[in-house]
């Protein structure tokens, strides 16, 4: 097969994959499944879910609105996850702005970092 034919075949395969409707996953779970894990009783499981949502990036933007958590470690991880999503998660800026006033320096620092990434700075 010539290089040109290879390029055509790869283009057709890519076009088929784009339209196949498959949901992006991280470690075999979809954004919705990781979002559900944010409600787990275990802080470690919630933190893992926040990291996974960040790894999913824009595919997780619907879920990142729910990254408010009960414990500081998960909130910090959630802020960094939002930073990884980037400008697609701009809806979270008001919650992050409130988080900048936290007494915990790790929280306020993570929130400021995320706001900068969400605003494209």
The residue that leads in pLDDT, 17 or 79, is 79
pTM of the model: 0.63
Domain boundaries, the chain: 25-118
Which residue stretches of 67-104 are H helix?
Answer: 72-85, 93-99
25-118 folds as 1.25.10
pLDDT digits (tens, 9 = 90+) for 52-89: 888 887 777 665 555 566 777 777 878 888 888 888 88
DSSP string, 21-49: -PPPEETTEEHHHHHHHTT-S-HHHHHHH
Report the chain's C-alpha Rg in angstroms: 18
Give the rounded percent of residues in the chain with a pLDDT score beyond 90: 15
User: What does the alpha-carbon distance between residue 16 and residue 26 come to, in Å, rounded to a whole number?
Assistant: 21
């Amino acid at each position: 097969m010539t290089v040109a034919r290879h390029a055509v075949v790869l283009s057709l395969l890519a076009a088929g994959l784009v339209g196949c409707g498959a949901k992006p996953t991280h470690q075999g779970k979809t954004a919705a499944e990781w979002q559900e894990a944010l409600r787990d009783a275990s802080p470690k499981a919630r933190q893992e879910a926040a990291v996974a949502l960040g790894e999913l990036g824009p595919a997780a933007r619907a879920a990142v609105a729910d990254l408010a958590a009960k414990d500081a470690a998960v909130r910090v991880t959630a802020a960094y996850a939002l930073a990884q999503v980037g400008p697609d998660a701009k809806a979270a800026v008001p919650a992050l702005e409130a988080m900048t006033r936290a007494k915990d320096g790790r929280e306020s620092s993570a929130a400021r970092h995320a706001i900068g990434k969400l605003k494209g700075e």
